[in-house]
Amino acid sequence: GIQVEQSPPDLILQEGANSTLRCNFSDSVNNLQWFHQNPWGQLINLFYIPSGTKQNGRLSATTVATERYSLLYISSSQTTDSGVYFCAVSGNYQLIWGAGTKLIIKP
């Protein structure tokens, strides 16, 4: 099955910094989603991005399907960006989840 690897596993930044989170996957996919899980456990979908680039405010994502990776960019980090960021991909009907990147934004 598809393997999903996220890096880095942990990231600690000061408020205002920019960050790049990476998701590598082992096979072709037709579905890739980025999620944010806040410190209270709520999972929120950030992007549906099997290919191309999307932006939503301070967040943007790029997926290069031919090279099997996706990047999530967070600019001007805020403390509310803290939490775990998951990448989930699918080549058939089941989403395969990465282990996540834990992001801590210090004030």
Partner 1 sequence: EAGVAQSPRYKIIEKRQSVAFWCNPISGHATLYWYQQILGQGPKLLIQFQNNGVVDDSQLPKDRFSAERLKGVDSTLKIQPAKLEDSAVYLCASSLAPVVGQGAGANVLTFGAGSRLTVL
Chain residues that interact with partner 1, rule: CB under 8 A: 30-31, 33, 35, 41-45, 48, 86, 88, 90, 92-95, 97-100
31 versus 75: smaller Cβ distance to partner 1: 31
What's the Cα-to-Cα distance from 33 to each of 30, 53, 105, rounded to whole Å?
10, 12, 22
12 versus 48: smaller Cβ distance to partner 1: 48
Question: What six digits make up the tokens of 16?
Answer: 């205002």
Q: What percent of the residues of the chain are helix, what percent strand, and what percent coil, each to the nearest 5?
A: 5, 60, 35
Minimum distance from CB of 15 to partner 1 (Å)? Answer: 25
Minimum distance from CB of 23 to partner 1 (Å)? Answer: 12
75 versus 90: smaller Cβ distance to partner 1: 90
What's the Cα-to-Cα distance from 13 to each of 4, 10, 85, 104, 105, rounded to whole Å?
24, 10, 15, 6, 5
Minimum distance from CB of 19 to partner 1 (Å)? Answer: 19
